[in-house]
Chains A and B, each alone.
Chain A
């Protein structure tokens, strides 16, 4: 079944030049493997279609149950060059949480998602 990421994770995002970073953090430790399996760099690139014009990189932080994504060429030039309301990528965090991911029947039962 499909579940929106906001049920499994919280996030914070920021900028480095024209690159937005999104740190995605599992709400419970048991959700982390699901994030690793479902929220791939490719899926995130696809999700941010029309927003992220460059590559997406993913890094794993199993110690804190988090994934870090770098979304290159996403901030209209970045910093003071950008004309965007969100030139610093602060709301990319919640934009990622809109993503719907697939969980198994067993996971749905185990974690009581309905």
Chain B
């Protein structure tokens, strides 16, 4: 057994710095590269892409990335875990295999794929058996939006990925797998942790939580002493150096920017946290109130003391459904009396929308520069505020009403208050809203499928 493995985060979300994973692979020693591509609504975007093109439906960026890093990964023995497969894991794997062959690695690289998370085609059968998939936030049964559903996937944990790694996969591609599982799986695989070693599974889960948002653990979006953070232009993404006993060190490659300091790790620990006593994943329940942090040198923070409890009997399901349409229009008003002008423009716009008889579920006005982030907490603006952006959003079920709204913004320039600009982008775009429906499903309903293919 290895005494230490180094797992590097390469992407905090689909759209993160393209070169970050390359720099993780080339910038120093690592054993694993983990890549988190799936935010809550990403699956529905991929579902849409797949309905237009049966070969699409996964994180397209992943394939050119593999082309860039595979030779180095093979040379150094670096393995990759990625939930890049979206709603088309096999399509993603095929594209990766194609690239591996083109690079001359036919028969030399094994690709693991994890499926079984997609329950879209089973929804009616599940509902008919009384599995209601109620919304975890609102308590509503899924039947209320049944005809609007676009995708439905269970979150799989680390174990199917462990299975793929145990079978010799160098690259493991999953669909809807938890981001924490991408980091935990290599530890289980290397250290042989048993399925009920809740403390160590919780430790690996917390390691995953710390690095799953990429540089948000290494100086990005860090409030603590933010002016002093070195060289963010060249920020190093975080790396977990894990030990068999479940302790780990968070670090980053030498000669990179950003920092690994306890206050920044604390900020990431509390990010998107619910009840800290129970951070629930498919693999365990981690207790964030047991975490201990200490320095172990420059840019090295040791994490220890983590305790966990048995996993629950359920998996979380992420369901996306079509929930109407929205559009946001903006205009910028300048000094003098910028805020007064923007407010008058808003009243004029609303009067016109009323006169047109347009019905919306919501109309929201914000004044950027005055109240868009802190609302009433910001207090009244200075009288001589140099400029204010009027930002009006509407949302509704009727696409044509939202469409009509987008045509009422530009006319304000010639028919409203003076000293207005900022319309270079043209009419606002109408966006279909794909909303997120979190639910729970009994674990026994989901059967993950693991295959390992030769390139």
Do A and B interact with each other, yes or no? yes
Q: Considering residues B223, B266, B270, B290, which has the most beta carbons from chain A within 10 angstroms of its beta carbon?
A: B270
Chain A contacts for B368, CB-based, 8 A: 85
- What 1/0 mask marks residues of chain A from 5 to 34 whose CB sits below 8 Å from any chain B CB? 000001111111111010111010000000
- Return the contact of B373 from the options A14, A15, A83, A95 (Cβ within 8 A): A95
Chain B contacts for A79, CB-based, 8 A: 40-41, 435-436
State the majority secondary structure of interface residues on B.
mixed
- Return the contact of A51 from the options B292, B328, B377 (Cβ within 8 A): B377
Bound together, the chains give a CA A81 to CA B372 distance in angstroms of 17
CB interface residues, A 58-74, toward B, < 8 Å: 59-66, 68, 70
Are B391's CB and A85's CB within 8 A? yes
A14-B271, A16-B272, A16-B274 are contacts. A81–B435 as well, Cβ < 8 Å?
A: yes
Total chain A interface residues with beta-carbon distance under 8 A: 45
Question: Is A43 in the interface zone, CB < 8 Å from B?
Answer: no
Bound together, the chains give a CA A80 to CA B372 distance in angstroms of 17
Bound together, the chains give a CA A17 to CA B41 distance in angstroms of 11
Residue ID in chain A nearest B223 by CB atoms: A10
Bound together, the chains give a CA A80 to CA B366 distance in angstroms of 17
Are B377's CB and A12's CB within 8 A? no
Min C-beta distance of A49 to chain B, whole Å: 7
Bound together, the chains give a CA A24 to CA B273 distance in angstroms of 11
Min C-beta distance of A79 to chain B, whole Å: 5
Residue ID in chain B nearest A17 by CB atoms: B137
Are B366's CB and A10's CB within 8 A? no
CB interface residues, B 145-182, toward A, < 8 Å: none
Are B377's CB and A98's CB within 8 A? yes
Are B263's CB and A25's CB within 8 A? yes
Question: Is B248 in the interface zone, CB < 8 Å from A?
Answer: no
Question: Is B446 in the interface zone, CB < 8 Å from A?
Answer: no
Bound together, the chains give a CA A94 to CA B372 distance in angstroms of 13
Min C-beta distance of B50 to chain A, whole Å: 19
Are A23's CB and B289's CB within 8 A? no
A10-B263, A80-B41, A85-B372 are contacts. A68–B273 as well, Cβ < 8 Å?
A: yes
Chain B contacts for A51, CB-based, 8 A: 375-377
Are A12's CB and B376's CB within 8 A? no
Bound together, the chains give a CA A80 to CA B43 distance in angstroms of 13
Are B377's CB and A17's CB within 8 A? no
Question: Is A84 in the interface zone, CB < 8 Å from B?
Answer: yes
Which residues does A use to contact B, with CB under 8 Å? 10-19, 21, 23-25, 27, 47-51, 59-66, 68, 70, 76-81, 83-86, 91, 93-95, 98
